[in-house]
């Protein structure tokens, strides 16, 4: 009975530590994101892409694609400002555990199994900017597909920082009906290469 009780206490303590760490991470990221409309612009862009792809009239479709350009630019500008602001956060607060599950103090206990969120956000900023500028000369449909993947991967990284990679992947699948592996395969090659080099994926 005593061993069972001690095990229960240890589990409760670990849960409390993990919850406190997750709340700290959510508060840290939220305190910087609240100054921007990144999530709202992302929703507007996703809805706009679906509307353009569903439009049968070529002239009307081209018009929608053209209008979405300003939303893409606003999103990229705001995200770059957010990344520049977040880059001033102390590194000790921005480590992300690469372990599949969220363990309390994992970034402190296993420092080699971490990456710096600030560096990953910079990778996402470059990916978003390059996709929006269409440096690869893609068709409007393929550009939208790539930029959406870049956005979803960025969102996955934020959820990964706040919770864990497993939770982030589950949220991605639930919200966008897309797996983490599919999103990683759909981003631009430069983004994927830099992402894997940093995250060890």
Residue 189 has pLDDT above 90, yes or no: yes
What is each CA distance from 119 to 27, 83, 92, in whole angstroms?
Answer: 19, 9, 13
Residue 11 has pLDDT above 80, yes or no: no
Q: What is the mean pLDDT of residues 122-149?
A: 95
Percentage of residues in the chain having pLDDT higher than 90 = 68
**What number of other Cβ atoms are within 10 A of residue 55's Cβ?**
15
Distance, CA of 72 to CA of 149 (rounded, Å): 14
Q: What is the CA radius of gyration of the chain?
A: 19
**Per-residue pLDDT at 131:** 96
**Per-residue pLDDT at 16:** 54
Helix axes 58-86, 38-54, angle to 10 degrees: 160
Residue 52 has pLDDT above 60, yes or no: yes
**Per-residue pLDDT at 99:** 79
Residue 24 has pLDDT above 80, yes or no: yes
Q: Specify the long-range contacts of residues 160-168, CB closer than 8 Å, at least 24 apart.
A: 160/96, 161/25, 161/29, 161/94, 161/96, 161/117, 162/22, 162/25, 162/26, 162/29, 163/22, 163/102, 164/97, 164/99, 164/100, 164/101, 164/102, 165/98, 165/99, 165/100, 166/100, 166/101, 166/102, 167/102
**Per-residue pLDDT at 18:** 64
Residue 162 has pLDDT above 80, yes or no: yes
pTM listed for this prediction: 0.88
Residue 39 has pLDDT above 90, yes or no: yes
Q: What's the chain's average pLDDT?
A: 88
Residue 3 has pLDDT above 70, yes or no: no
Q: What is the mean pLDDT of residues 86-109?
A: 81
State the pLDDT confidence band at 69, using cuts at 50, 70 and 90: very high
Distance, CA of 195 to CA of 191 (rounded, Å): 6
């Amino acid at each position: 009975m005593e061993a069972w009780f001690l095990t229960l206490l240890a589990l409760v303590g670990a849960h409390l530590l993990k919850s406190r760490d997750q709340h700290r991470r959510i508060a840290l990221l939220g305190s910087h994101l609240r100054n921007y409309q990144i999530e709202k612009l992302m929703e507007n862009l996703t809805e706009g892409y679906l509307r353009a792809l569903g439009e049968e009239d070529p002239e009307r479709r081209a018009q929608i694609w053209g209008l979405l350009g300003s939303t893409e630019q606003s999103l990229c500008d705001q995200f770059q400002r957010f990344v520049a602001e977040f880059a001033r956060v102390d590194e000790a607060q921005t480590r992300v555990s690469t372990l599949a599950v969220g363990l309390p103090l994992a970034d402190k206990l296993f420092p080699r199994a971490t990456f710096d969120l600030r560096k990953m956000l910079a990778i996402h900023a470059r990916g978003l900017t390059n996709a929006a500028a269409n440096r690869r000369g893609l068709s409007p449909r393929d550009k939208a597909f790539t930029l959406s993947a870049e956005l979803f991967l960025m969102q996955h990284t934020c959820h990964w920082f706040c919770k864990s990679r497993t939770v982030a992947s589950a949220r991605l699948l639930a919200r966008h009906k897309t797996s983490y592996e599919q999103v990683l395969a759909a981003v631009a090659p430069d983004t994927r290469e830099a992402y894997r080099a940093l995250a060890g994926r």
